[in-house]
Amino acid sequence: MRRIILFTLASALWAQSPNAKNGQRLFEIKACYQCHGWQGQGGLAGPRLAQTKLNLQGFVAILRNPPPSQMPPYRATVLTDAEAADLFAFIQSIPAPPPVDTIPLLKN
Amino acid sequence: MNRRGFLKGAGAAAGIAMAPQVAVGQTPVPVEGTTPVKPGSDFMVEVIRSLGIEYCAANPGSSFRGIHESLLNYAGNKMPELLTCLHEESSVAMAHGYSKIEGKPMMVMVHGTVGLQHASMAIYNAWCDRVPVYIIAGNILDVNYRRGNAEWVHSVQDCAAMVRDYTKWDDNPVSLSHFAESAVRAYKISMTPPYEPVLIVADGKLQEEPIEEKNLRIPKLVMTAPPQGDTAAVKEAARMLVAAENPVIVAGRMARSQHGMELLVELAEFLQARVQDQRLRMNFPTAHPLYGNPGTLPLNPNVTDADVLLALEAQDLWNFTHRMTPLNRFGMESQSTLKPGAKVITVSAVDLSHKSNYQDFGRYIEADLAITGDAEATLPALIEEVKRALTADRRRAIQDRGRKVVEANNESRKRHREQAAVGWNSSPISTARLSAEIWAQVKNEDWSLVSWDRMLSSWPTRLWDFSKHYQFIGTHGGSGIGYGLPAAVGASIANKKHGRLSINIQTDGDLCYAPGALWTAAHHQIPMLNIMHNNRAYHEERMYIALLGAKYDRSPETSDIGTALKGPNIDYASIAKGFGLYAEGPIENPNDLAPAIRRGIERVKKGEPVLIDVITQPR
């Protein structure tokens, strides 16, 4: 019994990381990186997504109906809810950057 | 085979019909003893030498062989010195890059037909970027002098027609004295702001026949003082700027020299106004507290807070003072993004030289005050008028405003550093990390970035301290790709005699157009550090395809077809080695960057070109 519980827990954890991994793949093939940077760091054409304060619902809402900007709307036909959730998982999985002061090359 | 034999053989084999005055079966007899004491091309070269041109970039072509031979055997391959190029587009782009550093033209020789066709895109770039290039096109106008098919297909009635839409002036001289006058005139026109490319046709017969004209002379080159804005208009501009609550300066192709930069600093400081640099020239020191936020698209700066906008040789002003329906929506609507009542002042010499066909002039600007004149030449008068108009009251208000600009500047610098830290250790290497690693190695050198940095999300602009005019060369002008590498080689040639360390952050797609420029760098021992920004795709185009896929409710996922440069991956280090360069890479681990760059710099300091391939994130 204990074994089974452990197993379920492990597979649940395991199921989460492929989502983020798939999200990373989607972030590339849906071309989100073009404006938001390869790791959501933000680029010249789109804001930073790494360490987003949005929740999944807010995130999906923006994908479906972004404010008038360079950001295209992604309807469910080109980006399913499940894919959106994977993308969100990826964005949440982006590690917080080290503090700038700990990176000698970025010290002023 | 001697010449007579060659003619006989060629005619017999191809069954060529002979000229009417020659009976069939008879071989035309070449005139014996024609070796001229002095061919026309010697004089042409003498004319070119009088212009003080240092280099001539060329891929060899028979239609200018006369000048080529004279450059070598009459002028000793000095002033100008020949640069062996492997593509005419690269020749012109080299001249383009050279001029960005040296502020004067390089000469380029091309075939009047095929060579000029190859060169034309690069000429268009130079035109859009308002850069002087001095082009000599070979041609054989007189049908009697076209020896065989190659010379027929390389001859043209109106050689310059092909590029007339994007050259400032051209001529097709029919005598040596005509050549002298037009060659000098062309130089002067090219170097009168707005600087632009010019073309002179060198006729084959004029080049290769003996000089017969008497009393040949070379006209004196008198450079034009650049056109300055109207005095009354400049005074009015100063009045508007001093009265403004929040004037913003946009600098496009503004500074032609270090002096131009210094003038802009002076103006900005008097006004305590933010400078939004479009990074088309080295206009303004990037570490200056009045430097506008470079973290946004530099070509489209945010100027919505301005009540007076001073646009100095700005590019596409309309585009960044208006919002247009983005590509991801249907239809087209636009509206001004300027504050209601905001005033626009433009200063530009480009108004003096417009053409119709190519649309590089952008949308019509409904300015409140449009001053025709070169911005750099107009600034001294504008600064004087601003000083005169500044009352004690205005000075106080201006100081307060300045403090706010400085605070915003500090804030954006902090944000950039935080943003740069995201993905710091990742592979592919982030463009921020790449830029920071290069900066760490070059900042104590006398360096010059001989490439545009927009493809790296402008990270060098955001993280490096650019303070000298020669430290940045801006961009291609016409977005014609294939410019980057040869322009970097040309700029590095200019930097060589000053002993500067040239750094070219080279995009992969651009290099693939004409990698032969690497060989030119190796052959002529041009010290330059080429660092590949190898992101393995034409990402800008990929974005458009993905965007349209989403817009039409189809798929953004196919967008790598026709845009990605993968499968097989291109091995740039091997390509560079093949052209005779020292090369390393591909580097995928960011921790390997610093030692590789150090090794590269060591070699560059010994006088050679080096290439380091780096696998990077897309932007």
Report pLDDT for B84. 98
Alpha helices by DSSP H, B422-467 = 431-442, 459-463
With beta carbons less than 8 A apart as the criterion, state whether B270 and B286 touch.
no
**CB-closest option in B424, B549, B550 to A103:** B424
Q: What DSSP designation does A54 have? A: -
- pLDDT above 70 covers what percent of chain B? 94
Rg (C-alpha) for chain B, rounded Å, is: 27
pTM (whole model) above 0.80: yes
How many angstroms separate the CA atoms of B64 and B182, rounded? 17
Confidence of residue B265 (pLDDT cuts 50, 70, 90): very high
Mean pLDDT of the B213-230 span: 96
Asked if residues B289 and B408 have their Cβ atoms less than 8 Å apart, the reply is no
Of residues A4 and B47, more confidence is placed in B47
Q: How far is B559 from chain A (nearest CA, A)?
A: 8
Taking CB atoms and an 8 Å cut-off, how many pairs form between chains A and B? 118
CA distance B116 to B58: 11
Contact between B247 and B273 under an 8 Å Cβ cutoff? The reply is yes
Q: How far is A22 from chain B (nearest CA, A)?
A: 14
Would an 8 Å CB–CB cutoff place A46 in contact with chain B?
A: no
A27 touching chain B per CB within 8 A: no
* Domain B231-412 top-level CATH class: alpha beta
- Rounded Cα–Cα distance for residues B288 and B192 (Å): 30
* Average pLDDT, integer, range B28-57: 83
- Residue B96 pLDDT > 70: yes
**Is residue B417 exposed (0-12), middle (13-18) or buried (19+ Cβ within 10 Å)?**
buried
**A34/B420 CB distance under 8 A:** no
Under an 8 A CB cutoff, do A100 and B542 touch? Answer: no
Average pLDDT over residues B273-297: 89
- How many CB atoms lie under 10 A from the CB of residue B243? 14
| CB contact (8 A) between residue A72 and residue B547 | yes
- Given CATH 3.40.50.300, say whether it is the number of domain B421-534+570-614: no
Please compute the mean of the pLDDT values over residues B215-244 and round it to a whole number. 97
Residues of chain B with pLDDT > 90: what percent? 89
The pLDDT of residue A68: 87
What are the pLDDT digits (tens) for A64-94? 999 988 899 999 999 999 999 999 999 999 9
Residue B8 has pLDDT above 50, yes or no: no
pLDDT-derived band of residue A17, with 50, 70 and 90 as boundaries?
very low
Contacts of B418 in chain A (CB under 8 A): 97, 100
H/E run at residue B43: helix B40-49
Contact A34 B424 (CB under 8 A): no
Q: For chain B, how far is it from start to end, CA to CA, in angstroms?
A: 58
- Nearest residue of A to residue B617 by CA position? A38
Contacts of B436 in chain A (CB under 8 A): 105-106
Contact state of B454 with A94 under an 8 Å Cβ cutoff? no
Q: Count Cβ atoms below 10 Å from residue B567 Cβ, excluding itself.
A: 7
A77 interface with B at CB cutoff 8 Å: yes
For residue B429, what is the nearest residue in chain A, using CA coordinates? Answer: A38
Predicted pLDDT at B37:
78
CA distance A86 to chain B (A): 16
Same fold, B3-208 and B231-412: yes
Q: How far apart are CA B249 and CA B309, in angstroms?
A: 6
Among B329, B424, B439, which would you mutate to test the A interface (most chain A Cβ atoms within 10 Å of its Cβ)? B424
With a cut of 50, say whether residue B1 has pLDDT above it. no
Quick check: A37 and B454 CB within 8 A? no
Pairing of strands B55-58, B107-111: parallel
Q: Minimal Cα–Cα distance from A4 to chain B, Å?
A: 37
Mean pLDDT score, B480-509 = 98
Long-range contacts of the stretch B450-453 (C-beta < 8 A, 24+) = B450/B97, B450/B101, B450/B487, B450/B488, B450/B491, B450/B492, B450/B495, B450/B502, B450/B503, B450/B504, B450/B528, B451/B484, B451/B487, B451/B488, B451/B503, B451/B504, B451/B505, B451/B506, B452/B279, B452/B476, B452/B484, B453/B279, B453/B505
Domains of chain A plus CATH, in order, are: 18-95 (1.10.760.10)
Buried b (16+ CB within 10 A) or exposed e, B291-325: bbbbbbbbbbbebeebbbbbbbbbbbbeebbeeee
Say which residues have a Cβ less than 8 Å from residue B328's Cβ, sequence separation at least 6: A70, A71, A72, A73, B547, B550, B551
What do you get for the CA distance between the two ends of chain A, in Å?
57
Q: Which residues of A touch B422 (CB under 8 A)?
A: 37, 39-42, 48, 50, 94, 97
Identify the band that residue B257 occupies on the pLDDT scale cut at 50, 70 and 90. very high
The residue in chain A having the minimum alpha-carbon distance to the alpha carbon of residue B327 is A70
> In angstroms, what CA-CA distances link B222 with B73, B170, B188, B189, B225?
29, 18, 7, 10, 9
6-25 in chain A: CB under 8 A from chain B: none
Q: What integer pLDDT is reported at residue B390 of this predicted model?
A: 94
Nearest of B514, B525, B444 to residue B484 by alpha carbon: B514
Please state the domain extents for chain B: 3-208, 231-412, 421-534+570-614
Whether A57 and chain B come into contact, CB under 8 Å, resolves to: no
Extract long-range pairs of B142-147: CB within 8 Å, 24+ residues apart.
B142/B203, B142/B204, B142/B205, B145/B204, B145/B205
CATH class of B3-208: alpha beta
Provide φ and ψ at B80, rounded to 5°.
-95, 155
Top residue of A29, A44, A102 to mutate, by most chain B CBs within 10 Å, is: A44
From the number of C-beta atoms within 10 Å of its C-beta (0-12, 13-18, 19+), residue B281 rates as buried
Is the pLDDT assigned to residue B33 strictly greater than 60?
A: no
How far, rounded to the nearest angstrom, does the alpha carbon of residue B165 sit from its chain's CA centroid? 17
Partnered with residue B275 across adjacent β-strands are B249, B291
Q: Which tokens belong to B90?
A: 């690269």
To the nearest whole Å, the CA of A16 is away from the closest chain B CA by 21
- Please judge whether B423 and A38 are an interchain contact, meaning their C-beta atoms are less than 8 angstroms apart: yes
The verdict on A76 touching B (C-beta cutoff 8 Å) is no
DSSP string, B48-84: HHTTT--EEEE---GGGHHHHHHHHHTTTT-SSEEEE
CB B442 within 8 A of CB B466: no
pLDDT of residue A108: 67
Dist. CA B180–CA B107, nearest whole Å? 15
**Cross-chain CB nearest to B424 (options A43, A68, A98):** A98
Task: Please name the member of B417, B543, B554 whose beta carbon is closest to the beta carbon of A34.
Answer: B543
Chain A residues closer than 8 Å to B413 by CB: 108
CB-CB under 8 Å, A31 with B547: yes
CA distance B584 to B330: 47
- The verdict on A72 touching B (C-beta cutoff 8 Å) is yes
Q: A37 at the B interface (CB within 8 A)?
A: yes
3-state secondary structure of B135: strand
Mutate to test the interface with B, among A105, A107, A108 (most CBs of B within 10 A): A105
Report the alpha-carbon distance of residue B471 to residue B467 in Å, rounded: 7
CB B599, CB B516: distance < 8 Å: no
A77 chain-B contacts, CB cut-off 8 A: 553
Q: Is A78 on the interface with B (CB under 8 A)?
A: yes
> How much is the pLDDT for A107?
85
CB B272 within 8 A of CB B402: yes
Q: Average pLDDT in the A31-60 region? A: 92
Chain B contact probe: residue of A26, A41, A49, A91 with most B CBs at under 10 A = A41
